[in-house]
Amino acid sequence: MPSQVTGASQTALNVYQALYGQAPSNPLLADYKSTIATSGAATFASQMTAGFAQTKSAPLATTVLTNLGVYSDALAAALTQMFDGYGVASRGQIILNLTSLLSNLEGDVTYGAAAVAYNTKIGNNFTYSSNTANTTPGVYTAPVAPVVLDPTYSITSSATSVNEGDSAIFTITTKNVAAGTVLSYALSGVSSADLAGGSLTGTTTVDATGRAVVAVSLAADALTEGAETLTLTAAGKTASVTVNDTSTTPAPVVPPVAPAASWVITANSASINEGQSVTYTVTTKNVAAGNYSYLWGGEVKSGDIAGLEWYCCH
């Protein structure tokens, strides 16, 4: 479509682009619009080309066509002929007519692409000249969108295995992640009872080097479970470490069984006569030292015994 810049602004920008190949400063555009409003477009264009009165027609034609983005030898020859034929005083009007024609040729097979490019340039020039900060003529530069790099993450473990009661250390390494970013993580492969902190989730903060460290303290649970695989997941990445079952269920304590006591009694003679003595020896095992009672039995009566002597026991 034709340039969206219209009126005095379009006239001023068209002529300035044709002659100088850039956008006027903000103050100049304001002056040009005032001149056009007061004296008209033709007078403005004539004033602008007056500065090129000493420039011959051929080089001026080359300059104008180049600045409009449509230079060719044939067009240069034709425009030169027009400048020569109508004289210096008509150069401004010729340029007005040429720029107006070009801005309306976007649908043309031959000059359509050049017209689109030209109208875009005039729109950009208007943006430049409308900025009060632009106090000198120049070329509009489109703002460059900042390049946003995708963040990346990787996780490593400081060891391939760790014992119960120790800590598993995971390092999350990031790129294109701002320092101070808080990352959530989850632990799997173990139960909350296996962890000293008792939680399977948590957060960690990325430092100035792009790293975040997670230290997982493992409980010495005194349970025989076998080796387990502890996995940390954060930002879609994982790392694992084997947890060695070093804190096992203790064997039951069996109280010691006291050895059985035994008693053996022997006589120093198989038979004796009345009036003689017999000695009995009591031999024991696993019997505490001390005095023990004894009984006589059999056919002997208490009157048959003259007396007793206790020498020793055990």
The pair of three-digit structure tokens given for residue 243, joined into one six-digit string: 């947890």
- Please check whether residues 201 and 307 belong to one and the same domain: no
Is 26 within a domain?
A: yes
**39-43, 209-213, 303-307: least confident range:** 303-307
What DSSP designation does 138 have?
A: B
Is 200 within a domain?
A: yes
Is 135 within a domain?
A: no
Task: Supply the pLDDT for residue 302.
Answer: 64
The strand pair at 211-217 and 201-205 is best described as unpaired
State which residues form the domain around 182.
Answer: 152-244
- Please check whether residues 206 and 269 belong to one and the same domain: no
Sign of CA dihedral 167, 173, 179, 185: negative
Average pLDDT (190-205) is 93
Task: Supply the pLDDT for residue 85.
Answer: 95
- Please check whether residues 125 and 14 belong to one and the same domain: yes
Task: Supply the pLDDT for residue 255.
Answer: 80
Task: Supply the pLDDT for residue 214.
Answer: 96
**36-45, 171-180, 303-312: least confident range:** 303-312
pLDDT at 311 over 60: no
pTM value? 0.52
Task: Supply the pLDDT for residue 267.
Answer: 74
Q: What is the pLDDT of residues 248-257, one digit of tens each?
A: 777 777 788 7
Closest of 306, 299, 308, 166 to residue 230, by C-alpha: 166
- Please check whether residues 230 and 293 belong to one and the same domain: no
**129-133, 157-161, 299-303: least confident range:** 299-303
- Please check whether residues 107 and 39 belong to one and the same domain: yes
Average pLDDT (168-195) is 95
How many Å apart are CA 75 and CA 79, to the nearest integer? 6
pLDDT at 187 over 80: yes
Is 211 within a domain?
A: yes
pLDDT at 280 over 90: no
Is 293 within a domain?
A: yes
- CB count within 10 Å of CB 6 equals 10
Task: Supply the pLDDT for residue 221.
Answer: 75
Q: How many domains does the chain have?
A: 3
pLDDT at 1 over 60: no
Domain boundary among 218, 244, 270: 244
- CB count within 10 Å of CB 17 equals 22
- Please check whether residues 18 and 43 belong to one and the same domain: yes
Q: What is the pLDDT of residues 83-137, one digit of tens each?
A: 999 999 999 999 999 999 999 999 999 999 999 999 999 999 999 999 999 999 9
pLDDT at 303 over 80: no
CATH number at residue 229: 2.60.40.1930
- Please check whether residues 108 and 162 belong to one and the same domain: no
Sign of CA dihedral 119, 121, 124, 126: negative
How many Å apart are CA 250 and CA 239, to the nearest integer? 32
The pair of three-digit structure tokens given for residue 42, joined into one six-digit string: 């033709």
Is 146 within a domain?
A: no
Residue 170 DSSP SS3:
strand
Task: Supply the pLDDT for residue 54.
Answer: 95
pLDDT at 247 over 80: no
pLDDT at 296 over 70: no
- Look over the chain and give the mean of its residue pLDDT values, rounded to a whole number: 89
- Please check whether residues 227 and 165 belong to one and the same domain: yes
How many Å apart are CA 111 and CA 103, to the nearest integer? 10
Report long-range pairs for 208-213 (Cβ below 8 Å, ≥24 apart). Answer: 208/179, 210/173, 210/174, 210/175, 210/177, 210/179, 211/171, 211/172, 211/173, 211/174, 212/171, 212/172, 212/174, 212/183, 213/169, 213/170, 213/171, 213/172
Confidence of residue 314 (pLDDT cuts 50, 70, 90): very low
**2 or 209: which carries more pLDDT confidence?**
209
Domain boundary among 202, 217, 244: 244
- Please check whether residues 231 and 180 belong to one and the same domain: yes
Closest of 31, 25, 33, 40 to residue 9, by C-alpha: 33
Q: What is the pLDDT of residues 282-291, one digit of tens each?
A: 788 877 787 7
Task: Supply the pLDDT for residue 256.
Answer: 81
- Please check whether residues 159 and 193 belong to one and the same domain: yes
How many Å apart are CA 217 and CA 210, to the nearest integer? 23
Task: Supply the pLDDT for residue 132.
Answer: 96
Is 281 within a domain?
A: yes
- Please check whether residues 227 and 295 belong to one and the same domain: no
- Please check whether residues 191 and 296 belong to one and the same domain: no
Helical spans, DSSP H, in the chain: 7-20, 26-39, 41-50, 57-68, 73-86, 91-103, 112-129
Helical spans, DSSP H, in 87-129: 91-103, 112-129
